[in-house]
Amino acid sequence: MKMVDMNKTHNVGIYCRLSKDDGDSKDQSASIGTQKDMLIKYVHEKGWNLTRIYADDGFSGVHFERPNFKAMIRDIEDGIINTVVTKDA
């Protein structure tokens, strides 16, 4: 079992994605803006440090060829963020 360091500073990246395949992009329950608002609120409630927001609109989740997803991975590898928060369907 992995132990969680309760004193760890969470430098958070929020990742939002909405695909054309995910249904009507006008659906507010799944919109990029709604996802951002919900996730920003969550990060602030936890007292974590919101470092960056990444969003890919109109990209399928089937593959990883999404520009902001790739940018997020680079930021993880570079140590800029150490926690990712996203909304699952």
Would you please indicate which residues are annotated as catalytic (active-site) residues? 19
**How many other β-carbons are positioned within 10 Å of the β-carbon of residue 48?**
16
Across the beta sheet with 49-57, the strand order is 49-57, 11-18, 83-86
Q: Residue 32 in contact with residue 66, Cβ under 8 Å?
A: no
